[in-house]
Structure 1
Amino acid sequence: MEYSMVFRVGHSEVGVHGRMRVVSAINRFQDIAGEHVDRLGFGVADLLRGGRTWVLHRMRLVFSRVPGLGEELKIRTWYRPERDLYSLRDFSMEDADGERVVFAESSWVVLDLKRGRPVRLSSAMPRSYDENRAEYFSTGFKEIPESEDHDIAVRFDVRLNDLDINRHVNNARYFEWALEAIPGEVLGSAGPSEVEALFRTPARYGEGIVSQVKKVSDDPAVYLHRLRPEGSKETCAVLRTEWPVGIGPVSGAAAGI
């Protein structure tokens, strides 16, 4: 079963050139996913009562163009289980003419907070989960190499304001940290055509997080990102971003921060 909502791109969702930030699109997708599972009876608040919660495992976004301030958009979302462990969820953001401007696919797991391990969906979900699953799906997740080498590294502190209801760093913050390390001339020239992230180890309150980026291709410009706790060999997340010419004149603030 699909779930949908219509909204207008607000002032807080755009950068200095009036185009929607990447993290704003991610937050919109997270919010509609939350509303969907809340309505079906297995939202975060429902799971927390049993010591469990939803955790994003990976997400990939594909941009046809970057929406602008005040633009009316419709988001549709649907899900299905995969191997009784992953809940795959797709999103489609469409303009007033029905043209898709952003597509996203994601993979979620239910985490046992005490054990710190994923649990089987069949043991965690009510009957309504299976009754409302969708059957049409397209998964295009790609391998994201982890590079020890980097061109640029930027450090961030994990603040209380970065945490969500699970007391974990909000998913969108990882994307923000990664994009912040992209060279300014790239951020200032065009929006991304594709952004993908794979999450590994959660960042913790009070840690310093180092955002590393390495350019691996010129045409299109492709960057590999690694987020890691300062002084640690652990990896919080790896990302891949692609920046072609011609998506639209978007500044760094508008494109992804």
Structure 2
Amino acid sequence: MYEIKTRVRLSEVSADGCMTLPGIINTFQDASIFQSEDLGVGTKYLEEHKKAWILSSWQVEVRRYPKLGETVSTSTWASGFHGFFGDRNFIMQDKDGEVVAYANSIWVYMDLEAGRPTRPSEEEVTRYGMEEPYPMEYASRKVAMPQEGIKGIPVKVRKYHIDTNHHVNNCQYVQMAVELLEENGVETDFQSLRVEYKKSAVYGDILYPMYTTEGGAATAALCDRDGKPYAVIELKNKGEQK
């Protein structure tokens, strides 16, 4: 298990002074990147070997949103490797050790030169190690497309959306979906998130958003001009939790 300790920054909170959902996701991402860097299989290693870990899906559950200035500990670990897939868990805890958010993620290891998935080497798997999956209710990594949804204003991919893989960073899709819903008057006190990533958008692409709502849940899709999704995002608020 790998752990980082941080304080909730002003740049990570919304008007209510609490960390945003994208803020939590970005902290989870940072922890996974820092672990890879410290293990010697980070961005430079991947670039040299023409490989990349591409996120296939997120499942994030939030018990509460930490407040500005609050100290939180974020832990992450590899929980399984099967074929070219890798599973990774995350937990975020407050200073008293209470879990405020947790997540599961599924990644695909890509051979960038060949343009297809590949198995990580035995040495790479050994470096990460493997621990027991976090005890949570695991949902499907598949998220259904919204049907006959409300269309939003198209979004052009800017340079600040792009990550080190030269694709739109996975959290940017979540940010776009949350903003789409907020701008259309949808209550965004979300406690549960699932994202299925279908394909990667790059600088200059135009994303065409659409969404549907039902009860305390919303589903948004960010698509290309032909309606094929880059990412499908499901969000549920407190009222939808068990």
Given the two structures, how large is their TM-score scaled by the length of structure 1? 0.86
SS in 2 for 1:202: coil
Indicate how the Cα distance of structure 1 residues 51 and 205 shifts in structure 2: closer, same or farther if over 3 A, else same: same
Match of 2:209 in 1: 211
Match of 2:132 in 1: 135
Match of 1:250 in 2: none
Unaligned runs of 5+ in 1: 248-257
Match of 2:40 in 1: 41
Which whole-Å CA distance do the structure 1 matches of 2:134 and 2:190 have between them? 23
Asked if 1 retains the 8 angstrom alpha-carbon contact of 2:217 and 2:240, the reply is no
Asked if 2 retains the 8 angstrom alpha-carbon contact of 1:44 and 1:54, the reply is no
Unaligned runs of 5+ in 2: none
Would you say how many aligned residue pairs link Structure 1 and Structure 2?
A: 238
Match of 1:251 in 2: none
Indicate how the Cα distance of structure 1 residues 123 and 234 shifts in structure 2: closer, same or farther if over 3 A, else same: farther
Match of 1:166 in 2: 165
Identity %: 27
Match of 1:186 in 2: 186
Cα offset, 1:152, TM superposition: 4.1
Match of 2:76 in 1: 77
Asked if 2 retains the 8 angstrom alpha-carbon contact of 1:58 and 1:196, the reply is yes
Which whole-Å CA distance do the structure 1 matches of 2:77 and 2:90 have between them? 7
Residue 234 (1) aligns with residue 232 (2):
no
SS in 1 for 2:190: coil
Higher RCO (CA 8 Å, separation ≥ 6 residues): 1
Cα offset, 1:122, TM superposition: 3.4
Match of 1:57 in 2: 56
Match of 1:195 in 2: 193
Which whole-Å CA distance do the structure 1 matches of 2:72 and 2:240 have between them? 22
Which whole-Å CA distance do the structure 2 matches of 1:202 and 1:45 have between them? 21
Which whole-Å CA distance do the structure 1 matches of 2:222 and 2:53 have between them? 21
Asked if 2 retains the 8 angstrom alpha-carbon contact of 1:201 and 1:234, the reply is no
The one-letter code of the counterpart of 1:186 is V
SS in 1 for 2:145: coil
SS in 1 for 2:154: strand
Which whole-Å CA distance do the structure 2 matches of 1:181 and 1:212 have between them? 8
Cα offset, 1:121, TM superposition: 2.0
Query: Which of 243, 246, 250 is the matching residue for 2:237?
Result: 243
Which whole-Å CA distance do the structure 2 matches of 1:106 and 1:174 have between them? 15
For residues 14-163 of structure 1, the aligned pairs below 5 Å read 14-122=13-121, 125=124, 127-129=126-128, 132-138=129-135, 140-142=138-140, 143-163=142-162
Given the two structures, how large is their TM-score scaled by the length of structure 2? 0.91
Asked if 2 retains the 8 angstrom alpha-carbon contact of 1:152 and 1:181, the reply is no
The one-letter code of the counterpart of 1:227 is L
Deviation per CA, 1:93-145: give whole Å up to 9, x if none.
0111111111111011211112321111236826423xx22134446133411
Q: CA RMSD in A?
A: 2.0
Deviation per CA, 1:186-218: give whole Å up to 9, x if none.
34xx62110110101111211111121111x31
The one-letter code of the counterpart of 1:135 is E
Asked if 2 retains the 8 angstrom alpha-carbon contact of 1:89 and 1:107, the reply is yes
Which whole-Å CA distance do the structure 2 matches of 1:239 and 1:124 have between them? 34
Cα offset, 1:246, TM superposition: 11
